[in-house]
Structure 1
């Protein structure tokens, strides 16, 4: 019996961003320089395929520093950490390498500046996400308020008489964040925002690429982890554009009942999902369909972030 035809439309940009590339490289170079084990506080990026690959090479993932032997090197994840974490590491005389994405570090510096000038900070983000935990941990308790929704923005009552500023998590929905900012600027006309928006270039580019293909696809496959904020936002963006979307960590998790009867399907990947997982999904679709493949490119990315100075010599060698 002949396989049915399926047109696969692949979004580009997709997958790894410069911050993820840098974070993974930091762990790999730390393993080369120091040997196994190298400890990593929290998942270096939100992708089990990546994490398990590093574990096989000798990385040990932990949640807190008290799980790390005092004489072992430790890497902080790409999502950023509260100030208390490096302070604790220094008190323990631990050697650590900070793999925080430079675009997250930019938000941390904005928070510090607003705090120095006495502004109360509104953080647009998702409660419990490691990036939000790290950003809120840059200032003392009570100096920052989390805003998750437009309703939160309408209801928030900041401390009376204090000047205000806002920052955002880097992996949010561009459109949803715009709506929240419009409410905050209407309610608080003097609120200070970032000179350059906090949502990172890769998040924006991947969402725009999905918008470009969603209305051409019966359904959209988003490859990424369930705890990946930017991957979840790609699902939301696709649905808003009229294409049903679901998140799958890799090919073995595909729901073939959900995928049955298609004539076209879109594929994208979150910023922490490697290209090998995209290829894996395409191969799985080939086993069920006679496929044609089209790639739609909406932006070119050439961003590269420098490695920490402590590891640059290792890379050169």
Structure 2
């Protein structure tokens, strides 16, 4: 009889979830004064879960991880675990230097999270050996499995991916660079069963390209405010319905990316504004992010209507 380990079980649950739906990165709810709104978060999260995401990633980039203190972080992860009630894996974000990352990791452990997404460390560029040692120290200090996240100033070369895949506890890699040559080398260097997923901003735009190098799974910021659109795209992509995919890309996703690129921080604040337009109790973003300008908000509202109409949904 084969004895499965908790790490293997978590990896399999994530693999199964990634095959059945998009990965949900929920927003963190705040009151108008910027204080944490746990009741709003629970209500919002219940709506997200009702649309059957493959896994749930609270307190990550879309969830404004860097704006939360340790107590708030624990409350948000606890609420996510309670609302989810085991239906899908809960992978909490952690980050900064390894010492602070471990403080958040222990909070996530106590809250009942299934795994951790290791966000890029703070500020400094680092050599490949340092990136490996960072993950080694986090993995040594927590019982939770880890998925490394490369974006911004963190990039793993293929040999480094092979090395981090050998670290007990590291089960996968999320990519935010969209360097397909590097990714192909990395997938070939990694052992069978190592998880990869597309974590590019508005990942749907690159989803077909990632699939060509063996990475069909992706996270969806759009799911945070319009799961109907995100799920329709996922289903069309999975079915090979290229005309449907192209229509959604041309009429919704590309204009959304163009709007997102107008100002720094819109990758989160536009998502939150769109959720508010739909009546979701998510509140404003926290500084240093800013809410969209009135003109950009009007364009967002029109685009949201277009996207929902494309999939036969309503506001």
Instruction: Normalising by structure 1, report the TM-score.
Output: 0.34
User: Relative contact order: is structure 1 or structure 2 higher (C-alpha 8 Å, sep ≥ 6)?
Assistant: 1
More helix by proportion, 1 or 2? 2
Taking structure 2 as the reference length, what is the TM-score of the superposition? 0.34
**Structure with max Cα Rg:** 1
